[in-house]
Amino acid sequence: MQVEIVSSIDNEPRRYQFDCMPGDAVYEAAERAGIRLPLSCKNGVCHICRAKLLSGKVMSGNQRQVVDVTGLEDADSKEIMLCKAWPETSCVFEVRNIYAPGELPVKNIACQVLKVEVIKGYVYQVDLQLPAGKTPEHFAGQYLALDLPEREEPAFFSIASRPGLRTITLHIQADPHLESAREVIQLLSSAFTEKTVVSVSLPYGEACLVKIPDQPLILMAAGTGFAQMKSIIEYLISQSYSRPVSLYWGVRKQDDMYLQDLAQEWSNLHANFHFKPLIADIEGIKDNAHHNQLSDAVLEDHPKLENSMVFVSGSPKLVFSAMDALTEAGLPEAQFYSDVLAYASRD
């Protein structure tokens, strides 16, 4: 069945069409097509997903009552909740505003700092609580900006938690020589102790999952680049994704592999998930050898890449060398995703 949603953003009319499988609620089919409907309770209670049924027939509400406006005028449209609407025929709905794949408005919000704790070595976990009822949406794999008044520039960090949660988790590496990261940790620790809020804007980044992929995924992370992959993996697990997912996590020293147990647990619990840890032991090896380690490991396990989607998080050098190695081995460039491509050049 075909579902059509008509909407307008900034007075600009938009129409989105997508298929809905029998038994799927409208919001599930929309999500699969990468279209984000406003959602909260998913239980017909909060009414945030309200829409007008302009044409067609649906089962609606927890009682699955039949609502049919076939052949009626627009004025006779019926209000229904898209989280509790199962189309029986092709339907047209009107929704106040929805966003197409890849589109989400950047919002600025004040967050409470719930936790600033060392996970391992010099890597910290920071938990930020979003205000109740105002959870800004983000896609798995996106990042945010921390606007700390004491610093001139915002600090950008990948979101390590999956979309849809009120608590947002960050992983921050703050070795003694990383002054900027140490300052951020210090400021966040003070906000935690003094119970003051911090200003955050989100979401940013294009290397993310705007919809559930229908192909195998290869995720390559260096150091705290793991945070971006964690968000993607936890999102896919929450969606019962069954295609293969392979995570390659490279670090310079053992202490930097700060959540190895968690990655191992994903691998133990989910047959489609594979994890390969790579510890460079950087002393005495050339920089490039360290960069190639991740792509060499991927190519060893995946000689055929034509059908895969690859996400890479790491330094520009690492990302470009991975892009060269993998595209040379047959990965189409359009299937290589990294935020580095948006802000860094090769030189």
String marking each residue 83-102 x if it binds ligand FES according to CB under 6 A? x-------------------
Site size toward ligand FES, by CB under 6 A: 12
Handedness of CA 302, 308, 313, 319 (dihedral sign): positive
Q: 41 vs 289, which CB is nearer to ligand FES? A: 41
Position 186: which residue type? Q
Count CB neighbours of 161 within 10 A. Answer: 20
Q: How far is residue 236's CA from residue 224's CA, in Å, rounded to a whole number?
A: 20
Residue 340, phi-psi category: left (phi > 0), alpha (psi -120 to 50), beta (remainder): alpha
Query: Residues 198, 18: contact at Cβ < 8 Å?
Result: no
Q: How far is the CB of 165 from ligand FES (least distance, A)?
A: 16
Query: Residues 231, 311: contact at Cβ < 8 Å?
Result: no
Q: 37 vs 263, which CB is nearer to ligand FES? A: 37
Q: 49 vs 318, which CB is nearer to ligand FES? A: 49
Q: 8 vs 40, which CB is nearer to ligand FES? A: 40
Q: How far is the CB of 86 from ligand FES (least distance, A)?
A: 13
SS3 132: coil
Q: How far is the CB of 212 from ligand FES (least distance, A)?
A: 19
Q: 47 vs 96, which CB is nearer to ligand FES? A: 47
- Preceding amide of 203 cis, omega within 30: yes
Structure tokens at 66: 């039949």
Chosen residue from 25, 51, 81, 210 binding ligand FES by CB under 6 A: 81
String marking each residue 16-55 x if it binds ligand FES according to CB under 6 A? -----------------------xxxx-xxxxxx------
Q: How far is the CB of 226 from ligand FES (least distance, A)?
A: 32
Q: How far is the CB of 250 from ligand FES (least distance, A)?
A: 40
Q: 85 vs 247, which CB is nearer to ligand FES? A: 85
Q: How far is the CB of 53 from ligand FES (least distance, A)?
A: 14
String marking each residue 246-285 x if it binds ligand FES according to CB under 6 A? ----------------------------------------
Q: How far is the CB of 115 from ligand FES (least distance, A)?
A: 28
| DSSP structure string for 174-222 | --TT-HHHHHHHHHHHHHHHHT-EEEEEEEE-SSSBSS--SS-EEEEEE
Query: Residues 3, 180: contact at Cβ < 8 Å?
Result: no
Query: Residues 137, 36: contact at Cβ < 8 Å?
Result: yes
**Chain residues that interact with ligand FES, rule: CB under 6 A:** 39-42, 44-49, 81, 83
